[in-house]
Structure 1
Amino acid sequence: MKLTESNALARVAAYCSKAERCEYDVRKKLLGWELTEEEQQRIIERLRKEKFLDERRFVQSFVKDKIRFNKWGKAKISFELRKKKIPADIINECLGELDESELDESLRKILETKNKSIKAQNDYERKTKLIRFALSRGFSMDQVLKTLTGIIGNTDEEYF
């Protein structure tokens, strides 16, 4: 669908005002409207100037939401932000500001819940399944082992 630059600006401004957006998402939207590269660049610059578009603010919101609602760890959040072409320095800065206790609490909750639903033949299999699950959510191995020790008990290195 072909839009004029002013119509596209109005639509994308409304799109950005509903939730935090990153430049990558906005560009995808603009590409669908068959705008030239120059028009897209002018629209993005205007959105930045008028504070509709702010990568740092987007990352902070994204990180907070993914930890609180999706129960993701740093690795998965970082991966998803890199897919959206967010600069590494912004990602590292925002992840560095995280409260580690909030991440630990999130990991503890998902592991306790998952532990109740796992069907395993023995402790080794149970721990392995829990570790795999937590790693797939983006938590580090050290963090997982430390949390599992608190939930299940001794997670001997011999298991891994």
Structure 2
Amino acid sequence: MDERIKKVLVSLQGRCARREYCCSEMRQKALKALDGDAAAAQEVLDSLVADGYVDDVRYAGAFAREKAVLDGWGPVKIRYALRGKGIDSSAIDEALASIDGDAASEKLGKLLAAKAKSLEGDPQAKLKLIKYALSRGYNYEDIKL
């Protein structure tokens, strides 16, 4: 491994120590730092994965918990976002299984209650609440008005 690759590797290890990243994000950062050298970027990524700095399963779990608890996202939206980041389906399923279903239902209830206050007197309030919940990534069956 030449000096330039080692420098990029150390830099990316520092980033990974501060927060979780998925493989596709680290691949993009390595490609940018190495001016598009795909072979060197793959070497850096392989080293990060081997050393445990990057793990898609761990990233998917952290991402799913954060989005469900803090941002109020539903499982559909979380699955779509993780697929967009190139995470495999088994890791996504495992991450979604780790989310507390009762807490997600409670969060949905709070979101809908807050939205309902802003829609008081609107004749299409029920329709708008359903659309809102669907846009947040919840299944139609989970929406209880």
- The letter of the residue matching 2:116 is N
- Inter-partner Cα distance in structure 2 for 1:120 and 1:37: 58
> How far is 1:97 from its partner?
3.0
Aligned partner of 1:102 in structure 2 is 103
Aligned partner of 2:129 in structure 1 is 130
Aligned 8 A contact 2:13 2:53 in 1: yes
Please state if 1:14 is matched with 2:14.
yes
Normalising by the residue count of structure 2, what TM-score does the alignment of the two structures yield? 0.92
Q: Aligned-pair RMSD on alpha carbons?
A: 1.4
What does 1:1-150 correspond to in 2, within 5 Å?
Answer: 4-33=4-33, 34-122=35-123, 125-144=124-143, 146=144, 148=145
- Inter-partner Cα distance in structure 2 for 1:51 and 1:80: 23
Query: Gaps (5+ residues) in structure 1?
Result: 149-160
> How far is 1:98 from its partner?
2.3
Aligned 8 A contact 2:22 2:54 in 1: yes
Identity of aligned residues (%): 30
> How far is 1:27 from its partner?
1.0
Q: Deviations over 1:57-113 (max 9, x none)?
A: 101100010011110000000000000000011101221232210110110010011
> How far is 1:121 from its partner?
3.2
SS of 1:51's equivalent in the other structure is coil
Aligned 8 A contact 1:27 1:40 in 2: yes
Which one has the largest radius of gyration? 1
- Inter-partner Cα distance in structure 2 for 1:64 and 1:97: 8
Query: Gaps (5+ residues) in structure 2?
Result: none
Q: Give the direction of change, closer, same or farther, for the CA distance of 1:114–1:121 in structure 2 (3 Å limit).
A: closer
- Inter-partner Cα distance in structure 2 for 1:29 and 1:60: 22
- Inter-partner Cα distance in structure 2 for 1:108 and 1:53: 35
Aligned 8 A contact 2:30 2:45 in 1: no
Aligned 8 A contact 2:22 2:55 in 1: yes
Q: Deviations over 1:88-147 (max 9, x none)?
A: 11101221232210110110010011111125432xx01000000000000000101x3x
